[in-house]
């Protein structure tokens, strides 16, 4: 499932293989893939034709490419199963190919958005003065952003009346963290997912942020996490970080720290994985 490290791998691929090229023809093969483009698929395609792509950018799990016409950007989100692939123009269509962008050059490759579950998509939006597409103004900086404000994050945690994992997944507080890296960072921090955010001391917040950054950096160095063929990077290669996970998906397997069998608990229509010995639940629960 693409979280920040996987999306950053895709951003780098786009910067290398798409930035600087010009769209010649765009095909929208599934309307849901452009549902955030309110003017519809035909408008999406028409506006992209003949437009040049600038440098690929990212905040959290969102990707965007400023367009050379000046004031707008192509925004993308991979959702659960989205892939952005640069493929030879003659390669057979993928089963879940949703959008194709052909280029006005002789390089012989095209950009494809492939997405089985169609939670992701592409759309065009005005670029705000701060450089962000206007519809993602509410997305907080991510922990790998040099301008992320640790002190402000701690203050926000103290003011919230919620629990730790909910806060980690709240993209308006900190972006780029999904279910996998939330569980990994909490395990490294020996913190329970249901601990109230208001109970965190400043040193605990600092330690947690350090682990979030470490686990994401390590995953990025290995090319992102992949659990099945659903996630593939821009060139179609899977990441290998799943071999290094300490918490996610390890129900009944021994904790890598203390050997206690790991547990899985239903949580917000998904799962939380944790060590019952290293990560003690808060008293109030």
Partner DNA sequence: CTTTTGACCTGACTGC
Partner DNA sequence: TGCAGTCAGGTCAAAA
Closer to DNA by CB, 110 or 194: give it.
Answer: 194
Would the annotation count 117 as a binding residue? yes
- Name residue 273's beta-bridge partners: 264
Closer to DNA by CB, 199 or 271: give it.
Answer: 271
Q: How far is the CB of 178 from DNA (least distance, A)?
A: 3
Contact of 111 with 26, CB cutoff 8 Å:
no
Closer to DNA by CB, 102 or 160: give it.
Answer: 160
Would the annotation count 96 as a binding residue? yes
Binding stretches for DNA (CB under 7 A): 1, 3, 32, 60-62, 77, 79-80, 95-96, 116-119, 135-136, 138-139, 159-163, 166, 169, 171, 178-180, 248, 264, 266, 268-271
Q: How far is the CB of 18 from DNA (least distance, A)?
A: 21
Annotated active-site residue in 161, 243, 270, 283:
270
Closer to DNA by CB, 222 or 271: give it.
Answer: 271
Closer to DNA by CB, 3 or 110: give it.
Answer: 3
**Known active-site residue 270:** yes
Query: Is residue 168 packed enough to be buried (19+ CB in 10 Å), middle (13-18) or exposed (0-12)?
Result: buried
Q: How far is the CB of 175 from DNA (least distance, A)?
A: 7
Q: How far is the CB of 147 from DNA (least distance, A)?
A: 19
Q: How far is the CB of 168 from DNA (least distance, A)?
A: 9
**Known active-site residue 276:** no
Annotated active-site residue in 58, 61, 112, 250:
61
**CB-based contacts of 3, cutoff 8 Å, min separation 6:** 61, 176, 177, 178, 180, 181, 216, 225
- Residues forming the annotated binding site for DNA? 96, 117, 160
Active site residues: 2-3, 61, 270
- Residues forming the annotated binding site? 96, 117, 160
């Amino acid at each position: 499932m693409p979280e920040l490290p996987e999306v950053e791998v895709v951003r780098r691929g786009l910067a290398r293989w798409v930035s600087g090229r010009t769209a010649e023809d765009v095909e929208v093969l599934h309307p849901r893939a452009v549902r955030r483009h309110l003017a519809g698929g035909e408008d999406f395609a028409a506006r992209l034709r003949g437009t040049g792509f600038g440098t690929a950018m990212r905040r959290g799990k969102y990707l965007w490419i400023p367009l050379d016409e000046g004031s707008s950007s192509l925004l993308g989100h991979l959702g659960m199963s989205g892939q952005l692939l640069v493929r030879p123009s003659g390669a057979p269509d993928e089963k879940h190919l949703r959008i194709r962008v052909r280029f006005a050059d002789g390089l012989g490759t095209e950009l494809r958005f492939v997405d089985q579950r169609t939670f992701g998509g592409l759309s065009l939006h005005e670029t705000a003065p701060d450089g962000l597409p206007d519809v993602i103004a509410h997305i907080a900086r991510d922990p790998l952003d040099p301008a992320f404000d640790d002190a402000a994050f701690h203050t926000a945690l103290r003011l919230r009346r919620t629990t730790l994992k909910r806060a980690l997944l709240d993209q308006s507080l900190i972006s780029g963290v999904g279910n996998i890296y939330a569980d990994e960072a909490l395990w490294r921090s020996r913190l329970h997912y249901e601990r109230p955010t208001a109970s965190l001391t400043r040193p605990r917040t600092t330690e947690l942020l350090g682990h979030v950054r470490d686990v994401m950096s390590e995953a990025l160095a290995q090319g992102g996490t992949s659990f099945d063929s659903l996630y593939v990077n821009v060139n179609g290669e899977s990441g290998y970080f799943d071999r290094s996970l300490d918490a996610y998906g390890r129900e009944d397997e021994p904790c890598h720290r203390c050997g206690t069998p790991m547990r899985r608990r239903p949580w917000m229509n998904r799962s939380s994985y944790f060590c019952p010995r290293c990560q003690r639940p808060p008293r109030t629960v």
